[in-house]
Amino acid sequence: MFRLDNKVAIVTGAGRGLGAATARMLARQGAHVAAADINFDEVEKVVAEIGNGSKAYAADVSNVTEINSLVEGVVRDFGHIDILVNNAGICPRLPFMESTEADWEKITRINAKSQYFLMQAVCPIMKKQGGRTHRKRVIHRGAHRWFRQRQHLQRNQGRHHHVQQVRRTRGSCRWHLS
């Protein structure tokens, strides 16, 4: 089984669901988890449970100022960042014809913009740390099932496209790190 002793992992949306499960798994493998969520009370409970020197952060990852504060806080507290899990996201079940511009913008801000700017904030820190590129990780969690749901098809195609764009950006991040 792989070990992540003394690695520092940011997990967004770690207050519940898949983010909380990812934070637990990373801590079990030895990582210190910087668990971030818009809901601080929930993420604090997760951190109290997983221990291992992990820490809870309040951050709305759809806001670039809060992203930068989060990343600065993690560097101040831990000194380095080895793993970024871009997990925070929303998946509202809105019928396509009833969705509004505000819905689209909110989904895009939380699900796509957050991933893009988190990578932009973390990438220079990983590069400065040096070491081998394959030992640094950026992981994106997207909602592919959304994409397949016919009722939501067009809006989901939009989101899927955004997530794909972010993944291409991850390629740029890898290039920047090497």
Ligand X SMILES: NC(=O)c1ccc[n+]([C@@H]2O[C@H](COP(=O)([O-])OP(=O)(O)OC[C@H]3O[C@@H](n4cnc5c(N)ncnc54)[C@H](O)[C@@H]3O)[C@@H](O)[C@H]2O)c1
If 0-12 CB within 10 Å is exposed, 13-18 middle and 19+ buried, where does residue 134 land? exposed
Kindly determine how many residues on this chain lie close enough to bind ligand X according to the rule CB under 6 A: 24
Q: Is 15 in the site for ligand X (CB under 6 A)?
A: yes
To ligand X, the closest distance from the beta carbon of 40 in angstroms equals 10
Nearest to 143 by CA among 14, 18, 10: 18
Answer for which of 12, 115, 156, 169 binds ligand X (CB under 6 A) is: 12
Nearer to ligand X, 29 or 63 (CB): 63
| Alpha-carbon radius of gyration of the chain | 16
* Intra-chain end-to-end CA distance of the chain, in Å: 27
Phi, then psi, of 27 in degrees rounded to 5: -65, -40
**Choices 33-41, 99-107, 124-132, 165-173; region in contact with ligand X by CB under 6 A:** 33-41
Which position among 91, 94, 125, 153 is part of the footprint of ligand X (CB under 6 A)?
91
Per-position b or e across 145-165, b if 16+ CB within 10 A of its CB: ebbeeeebeebbebbbebbee
Q: Closer CB to ligand X, residue 28 or residue 90? A: 90
Q: Of 53-72, which residues contact ligand X (CB under 6 A)?
A: 59-62
CA-to-CA separations, 4 to 1, 7, 156, in angstroms, rounded:
10, 5, 35
| Binding positions for ligand X, 134-173, rule CB under 6 A | 141, 143, 145
State the minimum distance, in angstroms, from the CB of residue 49 to ligand X. Answer: 14
Binding site for ligand X (CB under 6 A): 12-13, 15-19, 37-39, 42, 59-62, 87-91, 110, 141, 143, 145
